[in-house]
Amino acid sequence: ELNKNPVEGFSAGLIDDNDLYRWEVLIIGPPDTLYEGGVFKAHLTFPKDYPLRPPKMKFITEIWHPNVDKNGDVCISILHEPGEDKYGYEKPEERWLPIHTVETIMISVISMLADPNGDSPANV
């Protein structure tokens, strides 16, 4: 679907044609942000029970962002396990839902780059 209808701001594809669960994405730094002009590589790793559970996303390119852990793991609501947040910070509808796609994940990550969530930092 992404090959037929590319979305501006990123490209995505399989790391290995024999493994549907591991993807590589290239994100173009959003305009008017500190990341403008940058190209950032990340990996998406999908669980075997996708779409019931979210993939994990990890930046391979070194990047500093409040919502990206020091090891590159991305911490945003839609990549959190579905259901109630035990801390009461996120609403269930903000967390993973099976309707999410690579496109919606990437749009959320690009939005996160442009507008960090300082209330829920992964990299204090």
Known catalytic residues are: 75
Cα end-to-end distance, the chain, whole Å: 37
Q: Look-up: residue for tokens 């669980």?
A: 47
Rounded to an integer, what distance in angstroms lies between the CA atom of residue 39 and that of residue 15? 17
Would you say 28 and 19 are in contact if contact means Cβ atoms under 8 Å apart? no
* DSSP one-letter code for 5: S
